[in-house]
């Protein structure tokens, strides 16, 4: 066995098997065991180089544990988010990303992880994921490595500088909106007797509220009996109860259709609560299931699709509740309501509205185009002749 100093650390190299093993003597661990990390190689020179890299990691205060993999780094990151109180649905999505996507590179040791690994992995994922899903998966990996830096597994984030490919646009499910005829049929169904989900869907279609805003709405914030019935958006069905953005806090005057449907629903809800010996208070969710619990995104979607079937909408399973919001924007826009007003009603900035709903917004210069045709039309026809 030969002893030597490697970057100031006491080390030894000795034959083992068909090669050599090198050891750095770092004294004692907190549990009283010897702290002697090892490196192996076919020759003494290779082992000495590995020990030198290990010593540099120690000087850079990077952990010497080579068992840490990319999968472990990603899993620990999601575990930490869960302990911090991140929404269960978000955690479920992240764990799915780790299982289905990060696992493809998960066996690589985090210390051996290179930008090329990330690049090849992203190109492979881009062939089957939508641009938005690809962005989220890449962000998960990048954030997980940022955490690994904090915990001194590595000293640089190799994912950060890698350019992300676009992803499959045809894998992106675009939101769509109901036609005027379809919306009319749905609202008529909402007003039919004993339709317990009618108030929910009527309010969704005529106000543009988000699903978490509808599910988080309590009777304290819904006024049906004044001269100007109004819904106030003050909280949402999120882990912390907060709204999505500051712009989301708003008050909306209700139309007659939604007021009628909501009053019918209020009667149904009070009867259901009374049958259980309970009363509806201002803290009670406006929309509840038969057992009195608030709707979740999943249970609301089930009721939504069932009502669509009653309304005669083809293929109800192809529709999602968020498309009630798209429908609201589309109908308001195509009936001449200014984009600024629509943005306020939806709790968006104008920029965000145009980014998310550009495909259903009516052209903003329709009137000016008509004027231009009227003024210059004769000249254009003369030139054509």
Whether pTM > 0.85 for this model: the answer is no
User: Is there a contact between 20 and 12 (Cβ–Cβ < 8 Å)?
Assistant: no
Q: Is 50 left (phi over 0), alpha (psi -120 to 50) or beta?
A: alpha
Alpha carbon distance 231, 250 (integer Å): 8
Alpha carbon distance 278, 175 (integer Å): 40
Q: How many residues in total does the chain contain?
A: 385
CATH 2.30.40.10 fits 180-357, yes or no: no
pLDDT at 171: 53
Token representation of residue 171: 């894998």
Local confidence pLDDT in tens for the 385 residues of the chain: 777 888 778 889 999 988 999 888 878 777 788 888 889 999 999 999 988 888 887 776 666 566 889 999 999 999 999 999 888 888 999 999 999 999 999 999 998 899 999 999 999 999 999 888 999 999 999 999 999 988 888 888 999 999 999 887 765 556 688 999 999 999 999 998 888 999 999 999 999 899 999 999 999 999 999 999 999 988 888 766 777 777 788 888 998 999 999 999 999 999 999 999 999 999 999 999 999 999 988 999 999 999 999 999 999 999 999 999 999 988 888 888 888 888 888 888 888 777 777 767 776 544 555 555 566 655 555 555 5
Domain ranges for the chain? 2-59, 70-171, 180-357
Alpha carbon distance 331, 325 (integer Å): 10
Residues of 118-127 as b/e, b for ≥16 C-beta within 10 angstroms?
bbebbeebbe
Cα pseudo-dihedral 379, 382, 383, 385, rounded to 10: 160
Fold of 70-171: DNA polymerase; domain 1 (1.10.150)
């Amino acid at each position: 066995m030969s002893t030597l100093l490697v970057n100031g650390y006491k080390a030894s190299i000795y034959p083992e098997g068909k090669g050599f093993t090198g050891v750095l003597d770092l004294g004692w661990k907190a549990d009283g065991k010897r702290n002697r990390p090892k490196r192996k190689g076919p020759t003494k020179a290779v082992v000495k180089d590995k020990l030198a890299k290990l010593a540099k990691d120690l000087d850079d205060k990077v952990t010497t544990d080579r068992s840490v993999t990319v999968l472990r780094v990603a899993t620990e990151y999601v575990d930490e988010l869960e302990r911090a109180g991140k929404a269960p649905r978000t955690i479920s999505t992240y764990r799915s990303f780790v299982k289905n996507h990060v696992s493809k590179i998960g066996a690589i040791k985090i210390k051996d992880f290179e930008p090329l690994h990330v690049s090849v992995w992203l190109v492979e994922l881009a062939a089957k994921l939508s641009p938005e899903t690809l962005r989220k998966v890449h962000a998960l990996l990048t954030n997980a490595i940022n955490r690994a830096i904090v915990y001194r597994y590595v000293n640089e984030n190799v994912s950060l500088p890698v350019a992300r490919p676009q992803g499959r646009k045809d894998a992106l499910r675009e939101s769509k909106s109901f036609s005027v005829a379809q919306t009319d049929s749905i609202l008529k169904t909402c007003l039919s007797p004993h339709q317990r989900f009618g108030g929910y869907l009527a309010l969704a279609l005529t106000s543009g509220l988000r699903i978490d805003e509808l599910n988080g709405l309590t009777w304290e914030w819904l006024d049906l009996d004044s001269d100007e019935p109004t819904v106030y958006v003050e909280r949402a069905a999120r882990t912390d109860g907060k709204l999505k953005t500051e712009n989301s806090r708003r008050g909306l005057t209700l139309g007659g259709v939604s007021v009628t449907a909501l009053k019918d629903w209020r009667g149904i809800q009070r009867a259901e609560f009374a049958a259980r010996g309970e009363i509806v208070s201002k803290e009670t969710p406006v929309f509840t299931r038969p057992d009195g619990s608030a709707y979740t995104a999943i249970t609301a979607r089930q009721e939504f699709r069932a009502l669509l079937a009653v309304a005669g909408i083809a293929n109800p399973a192809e529709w999602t509740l968020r498309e009630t919001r798209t429908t609201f924007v589309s109908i308001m826009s195509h009936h001449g309501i200014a984009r600024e007003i629509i943005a306020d009603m939806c709790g968006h900035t104008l920029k965000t509205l145009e980014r998310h709903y550009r495909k259903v917004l009516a052209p903003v210069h329709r009137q000016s185009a008509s004027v231009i045709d009227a003024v210059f039309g004769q000249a254009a026809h003369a030139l054509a002749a």
